[in-house]
Amino acid sequence: MSSFVREHWYVAAYQREIGRELFSRTICGEPILFWRTEAGGVAAMADRCVHRRFPLSQAPSQLVGDTVVCGYHGFTYGADGGCVSVPGQTRVPRTARLKSYPVVELDSFVWVWIGDPGSADPETVPRVPWLDQPGWTTVCGMEPLAARASLLVDNLLDLSHETYLHNGYIGTPEVASTPVTTKVDEQASIVYSSRHMPDADCPPFYAKSTGITGRITRWQDIEYHAPSLYLLHSRIAPVGVVPAPDGSDPDGFHVKVVYGITPETEHSTFDFWAVARDFAVDDTAVSDYLLQNNRTVVLQDVTALGVLETVIAAEPAGYQELSIDIDAGALAARRVLAKLGARKGQ
Amino acid sequence: MSSFVREHWYVAAYQREIGRELFSRTICGEPILFWRTEAGGVAAMADRCVHRRFPLSQAPSQLVGDTVVCGYHGFTYGADGGCVSVPGQTRVPRTARLKSYPVVELDSFVWVWIGDPGSADPETVPRVPWLDQPGWTTVCGMEPLAARASLLVDNLLDLSHETYLHNGYIGTPEVASTPVTTKVDEQASIVYSSRHMPDADCPPFYAKSTGITGRITRWQDIEYHAPSLYLLHSRIAPVGVVPAPDGSDPDGFHVKVVYGITPETEHSTFDFWAVARDFAVDDTAVSDYLLQNNRTVVLQDVTALGVLETVIAAEPAGYQELSIDIDAGALAARRVLAKLGARKGQ
Amino acid sequence: MSSFVREHWYVAAYQREIGRELFSRTICGEPILFWRTEAGGVAAMADRCVHRRFPLSQAPSQLVGDTVVCGYHGFTYGADGGCVSVPGQTRVPRTARLKSYPVVELDSFVWVWIGDPGSADPETVPRVPWLDQPGWTTVCGMEPLAARASLLVDNLLDLSHETYLHNGYIGTPEVASTPVTTKVDEQASIVYSSRHMPDADCPPFYAKSTGITGRITRWQDIEYHAPSLYLLHSRIAPVGVVPAPDGSDPDGFHVKVVYGITPETEHSTFDFWAVARDFAVDDTAVSDYLLQNNRTVVLQDVTALGVLETVIAAEPAGYQELSIDIDAGALAARRVLAKLGARKGQ
């Protein structure tokens, strides 16, 4: 039984990754071929020829105009996945059609809908406008993770690990010692988890990017849009600086940390990460620093979660974890995911 | 349940591969030890000592005269697989005997019978005399294939793939566009599939080897002797040149393309290939060209079929292919193989 | 169903391997963390944090005084495995406790008890005092073996393989041709197997280390303390030299060959080997020679047994071996092991 929540939007790629080359990515266990039409749209279809299952992304398969020609026997498909030509006969079988996937380009991502195409509503794509918006600058990347997606969800919903796994980068003692407040929007499948530290050490990640030298007020407000998008509203300010009554906050520094959590297989995940900021937006030295520093932090997670995946593979069935107060957000996320998973059968 | 058709002859090796060194090859899942006796015959027996299953092909096991001495505890076997000596006692247990395999040396191959030795009839070895016959010259090789044998059968029975996978080598547009005629000899388990192209482009493989510069008449007459031998009678001639009424064909060029299809495991295969010709028989430049060119073509198949094997390993149960007219030969081959497989239970 | 005999002492490490670094070794499928306390004792506990199963041996986990701090979220454990601190709250859950393993340091080894800690009796650790005793000199090592432990037991209980697998090192024809005498102490789970050769070739291993140039009397007296310790009393002397009636044996050369046989997983084993001698005890050239020569011999076994493990993995169920007289010791060992295994259910 698959553990994937298929009736959902997932980040398939950054928009810049898809061009006039055949591009393949397996999402929720389904190999998908992406390419841009001559008009500039994104086409997405099963990456397996209907004839003898040859991957259409595999050389010598090729893009010819707005068609893909299979490199094995020449079956040819249009942008909607329909077959337009087969070898040795003029009639194209009616059933010669690749599964086609709804896609939406938004906020620098290409989103794909894995489930029933008829259920795909572009209005329900989770939004992260800061990644592609004037007044903000973004650094981003994608790391392949050799672990199931739920381990990344656990990781991101419990930021107390910053103090230990990311010590010297983004962690300080206050992150682990400050309790969190957790709320769940059952209807929208969103988990909110907040940790407000009024007087905390400033980790290098923020000290070097903001220029703050003293102690800080640090807010971490998480929104996890299950199953596929994680958004951390991070606010940093010198101790005592608070937003104005009207909500404006000119002396605060704001960062949006975004993760697209895209299962590849039951045991591997695409970890799309992006960091947008509203300060030093034209400062390339700050961009370079945040790109390197955040990638290092992501790779620390990738290493740790890869270890956990191998641990799970070797352990006896029925192994029990122990949870404590800091796990409230992660446990809420698991409940929401379980509910989305159960909904599949309806 | 094994998918192997065991009651059959398979190509085990080229005759030149077997000498006074211990040689091991796994065929239909059975590890077999081959070596030549001092008198020059080929001995074939299970490659596992009856005592503690040590491979007799593994150092420090060794050939001593017409016996094999196990490198672990010294059990010693004769050319018929019978044990002639064990350590620490003079009596050799009656049951100390390796399974022995019937072999036949013919047409440059060593053939081996995998099933019940009592059913092995040397007269039923499929013949390919051109590989070792005056007036013909052969280039040949063997490539390990990381895919099930049936994928190679599919491949060879549907040559329309030459146009795409082997474009620029042996494929031209006419191969894909010309329909095939298929016949089956149910009694002999042979599939015949023919494609005659009266006026076709001449691909580099034939242009460079024959010297023909214009368009050609190209005949592809396949005989697949299920499960283990594939034979393609290829005839090339300038357009308009036809055989004489008596069958002689002095102005045609004739090539016999032979494949020994030998399953190693359920997911790997030995791909023996040979190309014999009746022209330029003493021209080593032509031999060198055909050796390199055909090996390249075989490796294109090896790569493609290895991809298909990994595709199959990852796909859900019950996956459905779509077949069209060009698949008539391959589908006939599947039916014959299924019938041979079902016969196992009788 | 596990094949491990868990209610037993196993060699976990050489004493010198455990210090103030976190050290992990999986024994009988259980990942165990070893470290020395500030007072110098050995602590042994499960190498998995109770919270999210992060390995405590994995960076950035670290030893801080007499506690281990998990590198993921900071759970902190004492030398007895009890949790002393968790992040984000002051109360430590009562069930936050790692499984702790009884250990004994003896004869240069750290022994660990895998089963119920309440059953661990330090008095039942098998003794090999020569490894750490005045008048004796030891060379030793540990080789990871990619094979199940029972294959190593088979190997060591049937030394006739020395003649073939270790020919030119420790084997001579007499080892394979001399029958063995086997006895079993059912109560103590010890198998005794003896081979006395009154007039034998002297293999290089003994010729170079003792200086004997002629033929020898060679005794091999095995004690296998199932499941974990193998002890070979090896006596070498010039032909005709015998112990005195009082048991003293000043003109004999004595070697104790010790193996700690420690299962890692169902298919891999730690092969601890040691060679103690009562001659040339201060001669470092002899020590260097025996270290290199015995390691070579051990690696010949490691290679052969690794091959057998892959052979077993590929063979059909129900495969039958054939045993002969020389297997008496190994078959007795298998019976004792089966009896110990069956005892698990009581």
3-state SS assignment for residue C308: helix
Q: What is the mean pLDDT of residues A170-182?
A: 92
Q: What is the pLDDT of residues C96-113, one digit of tens each?
A: 999 999 999 999 999 999
| Residue A158 touches chain C, beta carbons under 8 Å | yes
Residue A184 has pLDDT above 90, yes or no: yes
Q: Residue A8 carries which DSSP code? A: S
Q: For residue A227, is the peptide bond before it cis, meaning its omega torsion is within 30 degrees of 0?
A: yes
Residue B346 has pLDDT above 70, yes or no: no
CB contact under 8 A, C161 and B72: yes
Which range among A125-129, C174-178, C284-288 shows the weakest confidence by mean pLDDT? C174-178
3-state SS assignment for residue C62: strand
Please give the residue of chain B at the shortest CA–CA distance from C171: B73
Chain C positions in Cβ-Cβ contact with residue A163 (cut-off 8 Å): 73-74, 87
Closest Cβ–Cβ partner in A48, A74, A95 for B163: A74
> B205, B170 in Cβ contact below 8 A?
yes
Interface test with A, best of B152, B157, B165 (most A CBs within 10 A): B165
List of residues 6+ apart from C84 with CB closer than 8 A: C67, C76, C77, C78, C92
pLDDT at C3: 83
Q: What is the mean pLDDT of residues C157-168?
A: 94
CB contact under 8 A, B51 and C164: no
Q: For residue A60, is the peptide bond before it cis, meaning its omega torsion is within 30 degrees of 0?
A: yes
Q: Residue A91 carries which DSSP code? A: P
Q: What is the pLDDT of chain C when averaged over all its residues?
A: 96
Q: What is the mean pLDDT of residues A118-142?
A: 97
Closest Cβ–Cβ partner in A178, A307, A322 for C95: A322
Residue A343 has pLDDT above 90, yes or no: no
Residue A345 has pLDDT above 60, yes or no: no
List of residues 6+ apart from B303 with CB closer than 8 A: none
Please give the residue of chain B at the shortest CA–CA distance from C330: B52
Q: What is the mean pLDDT of residues B295-318?
A: 96
3-state SS assignment for residue A99: coil
Task: For residues B331 and C89, give the distance between their C-alpha atoms in angstroms, rounded to a whole number.
Answer: 68
Task: For residues A197 and A174, give the distance between their C-alpha atoms in angstroms, rounded to a whole number.
Answer: 7
The model's confidence at residue B69, banded by pLDDT at 50, 70 and 90, is very high
Chain B positions in Cβ-Cβ contact with residue A1 (cut-off 8 Å): none
> A55, A61 in Cβ contact below 8 A?
yes
The full set of domain ranges for chain B reads 9-123, 128-343
Residue from C116, C123, C156, C338 nearest C258 by CA:
C156
Q: Give, rounded to a whole angstrom, the gap between the first and last alpha carbons of chain C.
A: 15
Q: What is the pLDDT of residues C308-330, one digit of tens each?
A: 999 999 998 899 999 999 999 99
> C202, C211 in Cβ contact below 8 A?
no
Indicate the helix (H) or strand (E) that contains A176. Answer: helix A173-177
Indicate the helix (H) or strand (E) that contains C268. Answer: strand C268-277
Please give the residue of chain B at the shortest CA–CA distance from A94: B322
ipTM value: 0.94
pLDDT at A344: 58
- The shortest C-alpha distance from C24 to chain B (Å) reads 33
Q: What is the mean pLDDT of residues C68-94?
A: 97
Q: What is the 3-state secondary structure (H, E, C) of chain B?
A: CCCCCCCCEEEEEEHHHCCCCCEEEEECCEEEEEEECCCCCEEEEECCCCCCCCCCCCCCCEEECCEEECCCCCCEEECCCEEEECCCCCCCCCCCECCECCEEEECCEEEEECCCHHHCCHHHCCCCHHHHCCCCEEEEEEEEECCCHHHHHHHHHCHHHHHHHCECCCECHHHHHCCCEEEEECCCCEEEEEEEEEEECCCHHHHHHHCCCCCEEEEEEEEEECCCEEEEEEEEEECCCCCCCCCCCCCCEEEEEEEEEEEEECCEEEEEEEEEECCCCCCHHHHHHHHHHHHHHHHHHHHHHHHHHHHHHHCCCCCCCCCCHHHHHHHHHHHHHHHHHHHCCC
Closest Cβ–Cβ partner in B154, B167, B179 for A88: B179
Q: How many CB pairs below 8 Å do chains A and C form together?
A: 75
Superfamily holding C9-123: Rieske [2Fe-2S] iron-sulphur domain (2.102.10.10)
pLDDT at C345: 47
- The shortest C-alpha distance from B54 to chain C (Å) reads 6
Chain B positions in Cβ-Cβ contact with residue C177 (cut-off 8 Å): 87-88
Please give the residue of chain A at the shortest CA–CA distance from B171: A73
pLDDT at C13: 98
Pairing assessment for the beta strands B229-238 and B216-225 based on DSSP bridges: antiparallel
CB contact under 8 A, A165 and C71: yes
CB contact under 8 A, A304 and C51: no
- The shortest C-alpha distance from C346 to chain A (Å) reads 21
Q: What is the pLDDT of residues A52-96, one digit of tens each?
A: 999 999 999 999 999 999 999 999 999 999 999 999 999 999 999
pLDDT at A95: 95
Q: What is the mean pLDDT of residues C162-188?
A: 94
Task: For residues C112 and C145, give the distance between their C-alpha atoms in angstroms, rounded to a whole number.
Answer: 19
Residue from B190, B187, B198 nearest B240 by CA:
B198
Q: What is the pLDDT of residues C182-239, one digit of tens each?
A: 999 999 999 999 999 999 999 999 999 999 999 999 999 999 999 999 999 999 999 9
Select the CATH number that applies to the domain covering A129-345 from these four: 3.90.380.10, 3.20.20.10, 3.40.50.300, 3.10.50.40: 3.90.380.10
Which token pair is A202? 């400033």
Chain A positions in Cβ-Cβ contact with residue B314 (cut-off 8 Å): 29, 265
Chain C positions in Cβ-Cβ contact with residue B29 (cut-off 8 Å): 314
Superfamily holding C131-345: Naphthalene 1,2-dioxygenase Alpha Subunit; Chain A, domain 1 (3.90.380.10)
Task: For residues B155 and C175, give the distance between their C-alpha atoms in angstroms, rounded to a whole number.
Answer: 56
Helical pair B284-314 and B149-157, crossing angle rounded to 10 deg:
120
Q: Is B317 exposed, middle or buried (0-12, 13-18, 19+ CB in 10 A)?
A: exposed
Task: For residues A305 and C139, give the distance between their C-alpha atoms in angstroms, rounded to a whole number.
Answer: 40
Residue B343 has pLDDT above 90, yes or no: no
Closest Cβ–Cβ partner in C180, C308, C322 for B95: C322
Residue A47 has pLDDT above 60, yes or no: yes
pLDDT at C346: 39
Task: For residues B68 and B44, give the distance between their C-alpha atoms in angstroms, rounded to a whole number.
Answer: 11
| Residue B82 touches chain C, beta carbons under 8 Å | no
pLDDT at B344: 58
pLDDT at A262: 98
Closest Cβ–Cβ partner in B160, B176, B322 for A93: B322
Find the radius of gyration of the CA atoms of chain B: 22
Chain B positions in Cβ-Cβ contact with residue C323 (cut-off 8 Å): 51
Q: What is the pLDDT of residues C223-275, one digit of tens each?
A: 999 999 999 999 999 999 999 999 999 999 999 999 999 999 999 999 999 99
Closest Cβ–Cβ partner in C158, C176, C311 for B53: C311
Chain B positions in Cβ-Cβ contact with residue A96 (cut-off 8 Å): 322
Q: What is the mean pLDDT of residues A33-46?
A: 98
CB contact under 8 A, C88 and A154: no
Q: Give, rounded to a whole angstrom, the gap between the first and last alpha carbons of chain B.
A: 15
Chain B positions in Cβ-Cβ contact with residue C178 (cut-off 8 Å): 88
| Residue A312 touches chain C, beta carbons under 8 Å | yes
Please give the residue of chain B at the shortest CA–CA distance from C173: B87
pLDDT at C343: 76
Q: What is the pLDDT of residues C121-136, one digit of tens each?
A: 999 999 999 999 999 9
Q: Which residues of C, range 23-62, sit inside 8 Å of A by Cβ?
A: 29, 48, 50-55, 58, 60
Residue B345 has pLDDT above 50, yes or no: no
CB contact under 8 A, B48 and C324: no
Chain B positions in Cβ-Cβ contact with residue A70 (cut-off 8 Å): 164
Which token pair is A34? 């992406």
- The shortest C-alpha distance from A88 to chain B (Å) reads 4
Q: What is the pLDDT of chain B when averaged over all its residues?
A: 96
Helical pair C284-314 and C149-157, crossing angle rounded to 10 deg:
120
pTM here is: 0.94
- The shortest C-alpha distance from A14 to chain C (Å) reads 30
More confident residue, A209 or C342: A209
pLDDT at A160: 92
Which token pair is C297? 């011999």
Chain B positions in Cβ-Cβ contact with residue A89 (cut-off 8 Å): 179, 324-326
Closest Cβ–Cβ partner in B48, B58, B87 for C176: B87
Q: Name the class of domain B128-343.
A: alpha beta
Residue C75 has pLDDT above 70, yes or no: yes
List of residues 6+ apart from C6 with CB closer than 8 A: C28, C114, C115, C344
Closest Cβ–Cβ partner in A154, A177, A308 for C87: A177
Chain A positions in Cβ-Cβ contact with residue B147 (cut-off 8 Å): none
CB contact under 8 A, B50 and C178: no
